[in-house]
Amino acid sequence: MKNEAVKIFQKKKSTILENWMNNQLQDDGLREDLMSNEDLRLQSEELLSSLVDSLTDANIESSGSGDFDTIRDILASISISRAKQGYSPRETGLFVIGLKDALLKTLGTEIKDPETLYKQSMMVNKVMDNFAMHTFETFIKGREEVILRQTDEIADISTPVIRVWDGILALPIIGTLDSSRTQIVMENLLQEIVDSGSSIAILDISGVPAVDSLVAQHLIKTVAATRLMGAECIISGIRPEIAQTVVHLGIDLSQIITKASLASALKTAFNIMQLEVNKKQKLKA
């Protein structure tokens, strides 16, 4: 005998879709700025059709059945897409929970016997709760991918290597300098030294909020790596409080050229390269 819920869902698929869509469109949290109503309907119809086509008498009581792999793939695609679009976990979860509510409402309308309704509803609840959990898990993975990509982009933006003069590079560092960021700074700087053939690199730490022994060690390693590439390294942006901290911690920077400002470091770089920059006098009319 065909399972009652399976039979009802196949027969009432259009009704379920309309109820589900009406609930979504009437929700105060509807994100029309992220997805059009037409796209939402197509997404909902695809998921519902896949569910109705996959449900059988055997698998409706087995939420982990391989028969639902297609549905899981659809849910994963929806979750990751929504994570990238800017949906919240709650909004994404409500999408699946809304389908469950529409399914249960249809069962309540079609099944009159309370005991049968209870048994069928429990089966549907178990299957849909499993799908909701899968949706949350894949959404989190999608959000993590977005965060990692944004972190990499921010790291690239926050460590720009600038060619300020022929043979002179400058790398302004803004924010905390930790081990992972030092690696990015070092890689970007060394690669630019190779690409440009520069002989002097200026590390400007004006935007570094504080310098402790760990930050100082990262700077020393960067300077050492720069010298191994045949370039001299100058550290600029040494503020009074940073100088006091370095002395207090007993950090030896005596072998490194340090300057208070980027302008002073650039002037030193010109002297090393035996360059002279003169201000041109305006010609009188």
> What pLDDT digit, counting tens, does each position of 224-278 carry?
999 999 999 999 998 888 888 888 888 888 888 999 999 999 999 999 998 887 7
Instruction: Report pTM.
Output: 0.56
Determine the 3-state secondary structure of 204 from DSSP: strand
**What pLDDT, on a 0 to 100 scale, did the predictor assign at position 232?**
94
Q: How far apart are CA 116 and CA 192, in angstroms?
A: 72
Q: In the numeric block, which tokens belong to residue 155?
A: 């790291």
- The answer to whether the beta carbons of residues 236 and 259 sit under 8 Å apart is yes
Q: Which domains does the chain have, with CATH numbers?
A: 4-155 (1.10.490.70), 162-272 (3.30.750.24)
> What pLDDT digit, counting tens, does each position of 133-160 carry?
888 888 888 888 878 887 776 666 667 8
* Secondary structure letter of residue 69 according to DSSP: H
- Measure the CA angle with vertex 198, ends 232 and 258; round to 5°: 30
**What pLDDT, on a 0 to 100 scale, did the predictor assign at position 1?**
44
Q: How far apart are CA 4 and CA 58, in angstroms?
A: 12
Residues paired with 172 in a beta bridge: 204
**What pLDDT, on a 0 to 100 scale, did the predictor assign at position 158?**
63
Q: In the numeric block, which tokens belong to residue 129?
A: 């709760």
Q: Is 274 left (phi over 0), alpha (psi -120 to 50) or beta?
A: left
- 79-83, 204-208, 280-284: segment of lowest average pLDDT: 280-284
Number of CB atoms found within 10 A of residue 260's CB: 15
Q: How far apart are the first and last CA of the chain?
A: 105
- The answer to whether the beta carbons of residues 283 and 265 sit under 8 Å apart is no
- Mean pLDDT, to the nearest integer, of 200-220? 86
